[in-house]
Structure 1
Amino acid sequence: MTPVIPPAGVSAAGTWAPVVFVSPGSPPAYLADWIDAQTGDLESILTGIDPVDSMVQLAVTIERGTGAAVTDVGHRFRTVKKVDDSTPSLLRSLAEEALSSLLQRKLIRLERLDVEADPDGDLGAIFLAYSNLLSGTRRELRVAVG
């Protein structure tokens, strides 16, 4: 019988550890980062967020067309140049546009969409309540636009 010599030779570098079986009962890796919609900070490095909830959050916090990956994803709130009486309805239609692909694919059901525009003209906000149709959970989200 010929001896087997590992590729790295007969040394510590030539040894290996056997593959250890990982129990399927262990928690899976999370699929989407849990990012705070107000600050943009990562909430946790240990737990994630449901991917559909992440899609909603990205749709209302990422500006459409600001990168190669977001040509069809995100909002166009920056197109609003002034605040007047028509601003709330315009912000509402832009929010619905940002969420339209998720609504069409039946990933979410929009339960409430409130829009406020500051009379001083500096800032507006949208308040969104929706149901995630895949997980059956309900979430609320408030995002400043401006």
Structure 2
Amino acid sequence: MFDRILTFLKDIPAGGRAQQLRPEDDPRVAAAALLFHVLDADGIRDAAEMKRLRETLSATYNVSGAELEHLLKAGEKAEQEAIDLYAFTSVLKRHLDADARKQFIGLMWGVVFADGELHELEDNLVWRVAELIGVDNRDRVLLRQQMQDKSSED
């Protein structure tokens, strides 16, 4: 199931590669912006969280090198310029089916637990994003537990 969702996420059209990546057009940028938002939610940009964000974007969207750097810059810029989460969550809700939206919440938890800690602001942010993209509380909590267990094994 995880592989099917990753395949779906990778197959989302990004338009021309040379085009400027914009969150309102590109769900990859919207996802990157939300991952940056959760990374910075506790006020500490931990190296382990940043590494996980890079790995997550690279694996999920099958990008590396300059293309990954471009996606990271576009996502970070979009996050810094955003006034709310809706600009990003509406894009994901339009482009992802229910299973892929749940998987995205799992990716967010992966970034949260990369540093081995759960801050209440991170928890609140994931809860708000889950609500906005239509992932129910039960699934959000199950995903949190799964990722927390996985991070304690690493």
- TM-score after normalising by structure 1: 0.27
Higher relative contact order (CA 8 A, sep 6+): 2
The structure having more radius of gyration, on CA atoms, is 1
Structure showing the higher helix proportion among its residues: 2
